[in-house]
Amino acid sequence: MLKGNLDVLLPLFIPPERTKGKYSFGDIPIKISFEKSNVVFYGAPIDISTSFGRGTSRGPEAIRVTSARQIETFLLDENLDIYERARIYDIGDLKIPQSIKYLRRRSPKRVATNLSLIGKKIHKITSIIQGADKVPVLMGGEHTLSYYTLKALSHKNPLVIHFDAHRDMKPEYEGMKMCHTTPFYHIINDGYILGKNIIQIGIRQTDREENEIAKKNQVVTFDAWKVHDRIDNLLTYIRKATCKANIYISFDIDVYDLPYVPCTGTPEPFGLNPFEVTKIIKNICSSAKLLGVDIVEVGLRNGDYREGTVASQTLLRILSRLIPSQTPTDVK
Ligand SMILES: [Mn+2]
């Protein structure tokens, strides 16, 4: 059964060592098979609908390079090596069809066709990994991809913890219904996730209509000022809300303050710092079950690996806290 799953997944991917990043996540010395893994990483270098700053297609590369070559997998603050906790299998990066790779003119119609093509693949990949009782970790790529992962996991009724400078809750943008600023509107509007099951953290850019949509749907919001001024309120809320919940973490790298993330498409001031983000992650209840993770909008330009570094460090903290510890016999 599990072997069958891998046979379906592998043809969709370029293996880690042949990607632009050339390494598997963390380049962990103990190689784990898909069957023995409990966390499955994959890159989705998708940049189809982004508008202002492009370049999120290099996100997986930034994360692969920094996690493998720059960052130790030993976490000083946790006194833990990540592979003592998470048994990571990295499938590689999603193959991008030629029609998308060389797309020059981005009409809304073409964007819609291409996103739906990729969306079907992301849905299938998420379902297979989750169906095998493993945690899918998507390294994006644009934020639109979260619509498809959440749709695939919606039957598990997840509580969505959404870190972002933006709500991504517009009904449409620049003539595009589905794009990087709209996934959370559509996931609610299409009935997959209730607004009250989405916690948005770090928000500081929205328009009035989008803000009203969030309020009307009872989306829980801790904007950047609330996090900065009164983080304890958020920590208390997170501890209670996540108890025994199935949780999904959608992490837009632009939740971090502008100096940490110079390459992402829409960096914003008034952002969070790594201590705040780590605190929030550490306060997720230990009885929560992690259903899936995406980390999106990570960029890489002119050899500036800052975003890859904060993205990798964020992923290590999420895994160190939210993967149940294993007994030594599990490792074999
Ligand atoms: Mn954003």
pLDDT single digits (tens) 212-231:
999 999 999 999 999 999 99
> pLDDT value at position 51?
64
Q: How far is the CA of 251 from the centre of ligand 1 (A)?
A: 9
CA of 230 to the centre of ligand 1 (A): 22
Q: Which helix (H) or strand (E) holds 127?
A: helix 108-131
Dist CA 315 CA 139 (whole Å): 10
pLDDT of residue 329: 46
Burial annotation 87-115 (CB, 10 A radius, 16+ → b, else e): bbbbbbbbebeeebeebeeeebeebbebb
Write the CB contacts of 170 (distance below 8 Å, at least 6 apart in sequence). Answer: 181, 182, 185, 207, 209, 210
Position 102 scores a pLDDT of 63
Dmax (CA) of the chain: 54
- CA of 142 relative to ligand 1 center, distance in Å: 9
SS3 4: helix
What pLDDT score was predicted for residue 328? 45
Pick from 170, 127, 117: nearest CA to 149? 127
Whether the pLDDT of residue 320 is over 60: the answer is yes
Q: How far is the CA of 280 from the centre of ligand 1 (A)?
A: 18
pLDDT tens track for 38-64 = 999 999 998 888 766 677 889 999 999
pLDDT over threshold 70, residue 174? yes
**Distance from the CA of 270 to the center of ligand 1, in angstroms?**
13
**pLDDT score for 39:** 96
206: CA distance to ligand 1 center in Å? 10
For ligand 1, the distance from its centroid to the CA atom of residue 296, given in whole angstroms, is 9
Give the pLDDT score at 326: 59
Convert the pLDDT of each residue in 236-286 to its tens digit.
Answer: 999 999 999 999 999 999 999 999 999 999 999 999 999 999 999 999 999
Q: What integer pLDDT is reported at residue 332 of this predicted model? A: 40
For position 103, what pLDDT does the model report? Answer: 64
Q: Which amino acid is at 163?
A: F
Amino acid identity, position 60: P
The domains of the chain, with CATH numbers, are 2-325 (3.40.800.10)
Q: What is the predicted pLDDT for the residue at 324?
A: 79
104 band by pLDDT with thresholds 50, 70 and 90? low
Question: Is residue 110's pLDDT more than 80?
Answer: yes
What's the gap in Å between 278 CA and the centre of ligand 1? 18
**pLDDT value of residue 209:** 96
Q: CA–CA separation, 249 vs 242, rounded Å?
A: 12
The pLDDT of residue 145 is above 90: yes
- pLDDT for 331 equals 45
CA 264 to centroid of ligand 1, rounded, Å: 9
Instruction: Report whether 165 contacts 255 (CB < 8 A).
Output: yes
Q: What is the Cα–Cα distance from 63 to 25, expressed in whole angstroms?
A: 7
The Cα–Cα gap between 241 and 256 comes to 23
Give the percent of the chain with pLDDT over 90: 81
pLDDT at 27 over 80: yes
Beta strands in 204-288 (DSSP E): 220-223, 246-252
Least confident residue range of 74-78, 134-138, 158-162: 74-78
Q: Which of 177, 181, 222 is nearest to 198 (CA)?
A: 222
Separation of 168 CA from ligand 1 center, angstroms? 7
Confidence (pTM):
0.95
Which pLDDT value is given to residue 30? 85
| CB neighbours of residue 154 within 10 Å | 17
Tell me the CA–centroid distance for residue 4 and ligand 1, in Å: 36
Q: Which residue has the higher pLDDT, 311 or 108?
A: 311
Distance 331 CA to ligand 1 centre (A): 37
CA of 328 to the centre of ligand 1 (A): 40
d(CA 290, CA 286): 10
Contacts of 247 (CB under 8 A, 6+ apart): 158, 159, 160, 161, 284, 288, 289, 290, 291, 322
Cα of 8 vs centre of ligand 1, distance in Å, is: 32
Contact 261, 175 (CB under 8 A): no
Mean pLDDT value of segment 18-47: 94
Q: How far is the CA of 112 from the centre of ligand 1 (A)?
A: 20
Q: What is the pLDDT of residues 292-303, one digit of tens each?
A: 999 999 999 999
Measure 138 CA to ligand 1 centroid, in angstroms: 16
